[in-house]
Structure 1
Amino acid sequence: MSRILRRIAVTALFFLTINPVLAAADASEESENPIDVIGKVQDHHYLDVAGYHLYLPRILFVEGSAIPYVYGSTESAVTSGNFEELPDHSLVSTMGNDIVLDMSITSHLMYFWFGIILTLWITIAMARKYKKGTGRETEPSGWFQNLFEITFVFIRDDIARTNISENKYKKFVPYLFAVFVSITFMNLFGLLPWGVTATADITVTGILAAFTFFITQWNGSKDHWEHVFWFPGVPGWLRIILTPIEILGLFTKPFALAVRLFANMLSGKIMIICILGLIFIFAEYFNPAFGLGSSVLVVPLTVALYVLKAFVGVLQAYIFTLLSAVFIGMASDEHQHEEGQIEAHA
């Protein structure tokens, strides 16, 4: 049994490392530099599937036209004669009008959808099992349902209940659970062969942080808004200074959520590509034998980084969920204040 597990582990590590190896190899062929790091972490209008490009639709709104131009791929848009592709792979209109809105499907968006859809699918499947009585009237069935229940109970008891008041935390558990699971999937997708880390895109993490922001403000209590605009017990002249700071603080919290998740996942992706790229850099600037020899150290280091990135992926999902619960709890809690409390103590 242990021999079988070791073989599975070795096979898994092989497939995990093959993705950045192929990425670095492709970069060395397409660029004058041995490795194109930025080109491998930026968004694309295609998906890598088993080494092939699966091109995604282009949806473009052009100035002066209310109807979008829809094409099956970038090549189709160029072939139509209405658009021209620039060296950075962006499109410009050949009709003299500016592109006012680009709603094209991209690889980061696809993996964002994959994370959301997979989360919904798992949750609905488990809900059906609980509805039938498995896990509710009897013990959970199988390792997957046990893992699902452990995760849900952890989010409910250790994150939601701990940071949100007892009479309000239950209605936020579904959101916090969905955020944790979907972000975990998005973070780990980048470890798969030809996979993409959607959360390494600031627009993706910005949207996730925006959900937390709107839920937080929508559920803000009277006390929350008083602390933003009125500050009970604070002298009037001091409110002029504190109110702009509090309003700014409403937006800095989700901004920190978005940047923290984005920066951690992007840096992990770049680090893995750079470390593996050393093989091709050494082969380019010294000789192929030297590059091949360096793989003895580089590949095990990359495997260790993969394990670390998997841990960081789950950790960052936890941190995002925890801070979301903290912000929601701070905004939804009610406190009792007496007007002139500070003056009285003074």
Structure 2
Amino acid sequence: MTMVNLESSPLNTTKRFVLLAVIFVLGLVSTNVYAEENGSHETGEEAHSSEFNAGKFVMEHVSDSFEWHILTYGHTHVSIPLPIILYSHNSGLNVFSSSKFHHGTETYRNFRIEHEGENEGKIVELNQQGEVIGLPLDLSMTKAVIGIFVSVIVILLVFLNVAKAAKKRSGEAPKGLQNLVEPIILFIRDEVAIPAIGKDKSEKFLPFLLTLFFFILINNFLGLIPIFPFGANVTGNIAVTMVLALFTFVITTINANKHYWKEIYNPDVPWWLKYPLPLMPIVELTGVFTKPFVLMVRLFANMMAGHMIVTVFVSLIFIFANLKGPVAGGLVSPLSIAFSVFILLLDVLVSFIQAYVFTLLSALYFGMATSEHH
């Protein structure tokens, strides 16, 4: 029997790291899973008069939140509260569970979740009279943040196993998970990085491009699984796509050569397009900032739209049940579910396409920034 030195094994170290990351995430979200009666915060008249709000239902399921909603049974909400981390100039650092807000219906430590106005969905600070006095610095662990941690754990588990298999089966045909991932890696290298950047320079940008592709792809897939701890609409959050686009922008700007900047500030065009009004330099400089903006909006809009369409089809069941009664809701439910499944399957294809397009455009930007002058 072959004995393995566990103390010196790199794989064992990485497994311990993944285990600690899992424990960290579970510790963040497992403060308490609580079920609360919605009727306890409503008068009897309000509870009976409340009707299904399709717009609110759709937005609640596609937007970020301070708690992870599991299910609603009747008037009972089952949710996992997430950590609230706020810094206020008046009260300093405040750390507490989002369960203190009771689904956003109550105020805690002079903070509350705003449900209307320009600060809708944000945490605002109140004075002793209950008036809004400003927005604290919000560093809370929202659903999207926890979703990112979950996706990172999945990525680590997948690629640590693939790396182990590749090392163990060196020189042999890949099998299992390695056989699934390796062709994708070769595709990004041979069909995206090398054609867009060049064979000599592509190796420098390949780690980022692979990380970008698999991060977007796995988060797209996890967002389609409506079961905790998956289902967070990470790539449908514009803050996440903005950060990804900023990474591309910063890497492009840092690695750009003198010919790239020359074509921006002094492009080879007729003189009357540059003097007396620097029309082309303005257009080229604007393009430097519109490229990452387009990356951000394209990924956000496509993934957000897919989630919204699914929730709209599901909400049709409750809309018909409210308008025509439970029988109408039951009759429309097969059609609604069929369309929802079709959109989900279409979203699987869109997930691949959006990850590929974001990676390809990033590679093209790197190629344009590093290409030699001819």
Q: TM-score range by the shorter chain?
A: 0.7 to 0.9
Structure 2 gaps, min length 5:
1-37, 39-46, 73-77
Give the structure 2 partner of residue 46 of structure 1. Answer: 67
Q: Does 1:203 align with 2:239?
A: yes
The TM-score, its normalising length taken from structure 1, stands at: 0.80
Give the structure 2 partner of residue 312 of structure 1. Answer: 350
Paired AA for residue 63 in structure 1: H
- 1:241-297, Cα deviation, whole Å (9 max, x unpaired): 222221111110010011011111111111111112111111110121111011232
Task: Give the Cα separation in 2 of the matches to 1:100 and 1:50.
Answer: 30
Task: Give the Cα separation in 2 of the matches to 1:50 and 1:287.
Answer: 22
Task: Give the Cα separation in 2 of the matches to 1:189 and 1:30.
Answer: 37
CA gap 1:126/1:41 in 2 versus in 1, 3 angstroms: same
Q: Does 1:127 align with 2:163?
A: yes
Q: Does 1:326 align with 2:347?
A: no
Q: Which has the higher helix share?
A: 1
- 1:289-341, Cα deviation, whole Å (9 max, x unpaired): 111011232222211111111111111111111111111111111113xxxxx
For the residue of structure 2 that corresponds to 1:112, the secondary structure is: helix
- 1:37-60, Cα deviation, whole Å (9 max, x unpaired): 112211101123577311111111
Q: Does 1:81 align with 2:109?
A: yes
Paired AA for residue 336 in structure 2: V
Q: Is the 8 A contact 2:111 2:124 kept in 1?
A: yes
Q: Is the 8 A contact 2:162 2:177 kept in 1?
A: no
Among residues 115, 126, 132, which one is paired with 1:94 in the alignment?
A: 126
For the residue of structure 1 that corresponds to 2:79, the secondary structure is: strand
* RMSD (Å) for aligned C-alpha atoms: 2.6
Task: Give the Cα separation in 2 of the matches to 1:145 and 1:30.
Answer: 56
For the residue of structure 2 that corresponds to 1:296, the secondary structure is: helix
CA gap 1:152/1:116 in 2 versus in 1, 3 angstroms: same
**Structure 1 residue runs of 4 or more that deviate by more than 4 Å after TM superposition:** 28-31, 76-80
Matches within 5 A, 1:91-170: 91-95=123-127, 98-130=134-166, 132-134=167-169, 136-140=170-174, 142-170=175-203
For the residue of structure 1 that corresponds to 2:59, the secondary structure is: helix
Give the structure 2 partner of residue 58 of structure 1. Answer: 84
- 1:173-206, Cα deviation, whole Å (9 max, x unpaired): 1111111111111111222124122111111111
Per mean C-alpha deviation after superposition, the further-off stretch among 205-214 and 97-106 is 97-106
Structure 1 gaps, min length 5:
1-25, 337-346
Task: Give the Cα separation in 1 of the matches to 2:340 and 2:112.
Answer: 39
CA gap 1:241/1:171 in 2 versus in 1, 3 angstroms: same
Paired AA for residue 296 in structure 1: P
CA gap 1:169/1:234 in 2 versus in 1, 3 angstroms: farther
Task: Give the Cα separation in 2 of the matches to 1:29 and 1:189.
Answer: 37
Per mean C-alpha deviation after superposition, the further-off stretch among 48-57 and 266-275 is 48-57
Q: Is the 8 A contact 1:85 1:92 kept in 2?
A: yes
Q: Is the 8 A contact 1:58 1:74 kept in 2?
A: no
Task: Give the Cα separation in 1 of the matches to 2:261 and 2:49.
Answer: 55
Task: Give the Cα separation in 2 of the matches to 1:310 and 1:44.
Answer: 24
Q: Shift in Å at residue 99 of structure 1?
A: 3.0
Q: Does 1:171 align with 2:243?
A: no
Paired AA for residue 56 in structure 1: L
The TM-score, its normalising length taken from structure 2, stands at: 0.75
CA gap 1:162/1:100 in 2 versus in 1, 3 angstroms: same
